[in-house]
Structure 1
Amino acid sequence: MLIIRQAAKLQWSRPVTLPKVVEFKQAMQHIGIHTPEDRIDFVRKQGVPIFIASEPFLEMEQYNIPVRLYAFAYDSNLSDANIFSMYIGQQRLCIDAADYEYLLEKYGQEALSAYSARISDLEKTITNMQGAFSVQQGRMNELMEQNQVLLAEKVEY
């Protein structure tokens, strides 16, 4: 099994040129998946082909670049999270633009509604904090007035 795992780290696929590809990390972030482990699990569950670009991405999308299929991306026993991390760090991991658009359409709305719910929660928290701040500010003003009265009495004595 060790020999098979080592062989799986090599890229056996032949290079092909895809018309349009999207950098993996940015694609996953736009879909709403932010943690590296969740990204790997997501593409495994969806069966989306993962490619390794010949050069690092300078932008989110690139056109007509040679890529190799990462054939072992879907097998949790053979694929290696370090390989995912290495290619993500090098900004060479990518998916086909058509697959990205499909995933964005299918799962992007869920991410958007989750963001909307989070924003709503944060707005409520801010409103509550502003109310608490206002109460504290009022209390502080009262204490300052009391302090002024006490200082005036102190000067009299």
Structure 2
Amino acid sequence: MRNVFTWTAIVASLLVMQLAQAASICDIKMGLQTARENLVAMLDAADKAAQEDLKKKVDEASTALETALEAMLGDAKTAEDNKGKLNKFKETWTALKDTREKEIVPAIYAGKKADAKALATGIQAERMTTLKGLIKELGGDDCKAAK
């Protein structure tokens, strides 16, 4: 019985490693787009339940983005100049996410949608431009359209 669990654990680990290594800039791009779209939808959501559902989607997309980013950074096949761009992406993403979590989302929950929009169209818009530019430099323009 112990051998079955051992083999199951090994197979599961290999599958996780394979999925992580298969991450691409397109996975990062998709996560960024999905997180942004759901955050914008939160601004328009009329009730707390809808906001909570959208926030869950923002968090899921953010986790997917971060998983792909870490996989690419840890992949020996990723060129060093691309790792530099990915590290810049990570730095900018962290700043964007921190502002989102500490300022924008609380403003939305507090009903201060104008304050949230002001933040989103200020420094966050600049950060988003930086992130999209890095995605483009990393070949993200070649990603298939989001489904």
With the length of structure 2 as denominator, give the TM-score of the two structures. Answer: 0.26
If asked which structure has higher relative contact order (CA below 8 Å, sep 6+), I would say 1
Q: Select the structure that is richer in helix.
A: 2
